[in-house]
Structure 1
Amino acid sequence: MEDFQGVEEKAFVKDEVDNVIKESIENTIQNAAYHHNKVAQWNSNIVEQCLKKLTGLNKPFKYIGSTTYKYDSKTMYVIVNVFGLTI
């Protein structure tokens, strides 16, 4: 039983990561309209917030994060990729 709990504590839990990403996007962009000159700052803020919160989960991973923005008429899509690496 203890071995299973140890594995669970070290697992990459997709739902936890999804919540971190969603919170970071919502905190950064909120209801803002797309402005090309703001994308670099948004990108930086989202990646920094994600990495800070993911590190706070105390999992044995090194994280890599990136963001991409797609503006289509009145809609903006934010695509965030997060990779958790361990040896």
Structure 2
Amino acid sequence: MNGMEEFQNGSEGSFNSEEAESLVKECIDAVVGGDDYSQTHVNKWTASVVERTLSTLVKQGKPYKYMVTCAVMQKTGAGLHTANSCYWDTTMDGSCTVRWENRTMYCVVSVFAVAIP
């Protein structure tokens, strides 16, 4: 575990996934917040979450290209499983996935950060 912490903070250029996770949570809260699931709002919400997350990441001015995905699902008792895989430079590139939920829905956001050489 120690090695991982050193890796996170060691290189100024390396992607800080913890920082990104809290940033993503703030963006989801700002867009969806206390709303209840609504079929008519889902497209607007997902678009707003990815746009807000992306612009917030870019504003940090770090040398990365970003990809952001967002899925919103109504809580119906069904299972929700997600996975992703990346082939890249693990010393510089990074990703994080945030699973957010409230009373009526799940929101899963993934951020992929690829270092600009």
Q: Structure 2-normalised TM-score?
A: 0.64
> 4+ residue stretches of structure 1 with deviation over 3 A?
none
Instruction: Calculate percent identity across the aligned residue pairs.
Output: 28
Residue 75 of structure 1 is matched in structure 2 by: 104
CA deviation map 1:51-76 (0-9, x unaligned):
11101112111000010112114531
Gapped regions of structure 1 (runs ≥ 5): 1-6
Q: Which residue of 2 aligns with 1:55?
A: 58
Q: Distance in 2 between matches of 1:60 and 1:32?
A: 35
Letter in 2 for 1:25: I
> Who is 2:82 aligned against?
none
Q: Once the 2 structures are TM-superposed, how far is the Cα of residue 19 of structure 1 from its aligned partner? A: 1.2
Asked if the contact 1:9–1:59 (Cα under 8 Å) also holds between the matched residues in 2, the reply is no
Of 45, 50, 64, the residue aligned with 2:48 is 45
Q: Which residue of 30, 34, 39 maps to 1:36?
A: 39
Unaligned runs of 5+ in 2: 1-9, 77-102
Q: Deviations over 1:21-57 (max 9, x none)?
A: 0010000011101001101110111111101110111
Structure with higher RCO (Cα < 8 A, 6+ apart): 2
If the length of structure 1 is used for normalisation, what is the TM-score?
Answer: 0.84
Counterpart contact for 1:11–1:59, Cα < 8 Å: no
The one-letter code of the counterpart of 2:67 is: I
Root-mean-square deviation (Å): 1.4
